[in-house]
């Protein structure tokens, strides 16, 4: 059983790198006690070191968000829950003909079932202590057609729908639920994708991907993290049922 803390507790899934790591650091700097739910001990421990370096506190639980019992046990050990950041997810590149049934099942297990698990087991902990804030990481792919993102777009559309349902069902019980829909963000996934698919042309292709956003660059994990913190903090207590697009103008500016 995790020891009680005076600081508000936030669970961040998939915090071993990228947006999850940046969000953990940003929220730790603002006084949140960070509870990392991640499958990778190595990445999570690196994030915890950065959290503590920012003056924060935290702990790591090895959690497979696709596994019901793993998630149930992790949430049962929390003394309370003030905020939940559903960030864990996987990507897939390809259209409906490229996506295999196995691809669909893998993305469903992590991107949809994983979010469901954290909502299903996290909400009761929040409700016992008067409510809290949930932020789900969706994508601009949940609202516009992105080439070769069929399976990924399907799961992020489900994330947006789950967000709206939770916001509606629990608004009278002190639960706020919102989602963030980023455009392209420079994370380790982007670097790995380029190295795998464009060996020797990584910088050229990186610049091409960055140029698709009118602002002329990719976002940074820290920029997404600041928005996640704002929504979760008291400054965002009038916000629920919203989808925050943060994409460098991709969906709003026609070039």
Structural domains of the chain, count: 2
Q: Is the pLDDT of residue 10 over 60?
A: yes
d(CA 159, CA 248): 21
Checking if the pLDDT of 133 tops 80, the result is yes
3-state secondary structure of 228: helix
* b/e map 165-184, b = 16+ CB within 10 Å: ebbeebeeeebbbbbbbbbb
Q: What is the pTM of this model?
A: 0.94
Q: Reading across the β-sheet that carries 83-86, which strands appear in turn?
A: 57-62, 33-38, 9-13, 83-86, 132-137, 175-182, 243-246
15: in domain: yes
Residue 5 predicted with pLDDT over 90: no
The parent domain of residue 146 ranges over 9-183+220-246
* Residue 33 within a domain: yes
Q: Has 116 been annotated as catalytic?
A: no
Same domain, 238 and 128: yes
156 part of a folded domain: yes
Residue 20 lies in a domain: yes
Assess if residue 253 is contained within a domain.
no
Measuring CA to CA, which residue among 92, 61, 85 is closest to residue 74? 61
CATH code where residue 88 lies? 3.40.50.720
Same domain? 191 vs 82: no
Residues 40 and 99 both lie in one domain: yes
State whether 45 and 110 are in the same domain: yes
Which pair of structure tokens corresponds to residue 216?
């002329």
**Mean predicted lDDT score pLDDT of the chain:** 95
- Both 213 and 226 in a single domain? no
In this predicted structure, which of 1-10, 87-96, 138-147 has the lowest mean pLDDT? Answer: 1-10
Q: Are residues 83 and 162 in the same domain?
A: yes
Same domain, 148 and 31: yes
Q: Is residue 3 part of a domain?
A: no
Pair (199, 82) in one structural domain: no
Question: Which is the catalytic residue, given 116, 152, 198, 229?
Answer: 152
Query: Is residue 106 domain-shared with residue 203, that is, in the same domain?
Result: no
């Amino acid at each position: 059983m995790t020891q009680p803390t005076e600081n508000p507790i936030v669970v961040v899934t998939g915090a071993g790198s990228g947006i999850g790591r940046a969000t953990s650091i940003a929220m730790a700097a603002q006084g949140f006690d960070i509870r990392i739910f991640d499958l990778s001990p190595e990445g999570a421990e690196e994030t915890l070191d950065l959290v503590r370096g920012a003056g924060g506190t935290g702990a790591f639980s090895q959690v497979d968000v696709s596994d019901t019992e793993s998630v149930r046990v992790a949430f049962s050990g929390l003394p309370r829950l003030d905020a939940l950041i559903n960030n864990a997810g996987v990507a897939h590149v390809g259209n409906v003909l490229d996506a295999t049934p196995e691809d669909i099942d893998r993305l469903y297990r992590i991107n949809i079932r994983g979010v469901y698990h954290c909502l299903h087991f996290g909400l009761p902990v929040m409700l016992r202590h008067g409510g809290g804030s949930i932020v789900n990481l969706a994508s601009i792919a949940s609202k516009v057609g992105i080439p070769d993102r069929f399976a990924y777009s399907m799961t992020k559309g489900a994330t947006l729908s789950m967000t709206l349902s939770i916001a509606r069902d629990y608004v009278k019980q002190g639960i706020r639920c919102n989602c963030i829909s980023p455009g392209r963000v420079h994370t380790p996934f982007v670097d790995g994708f380029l190295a795998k698919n464009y060996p020797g042309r990584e910088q050229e292709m990186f610049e091409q991907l960055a140029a698709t956003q009118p602002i002329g660059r990719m976002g940074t994990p820290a920029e997404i993290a600041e928005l996640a913190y704002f929504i979760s903090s008291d400054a965002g207590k009038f916000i629920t049922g919203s989808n925050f697009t943060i994409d460098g103008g991709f969906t709003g500016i026609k070039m």
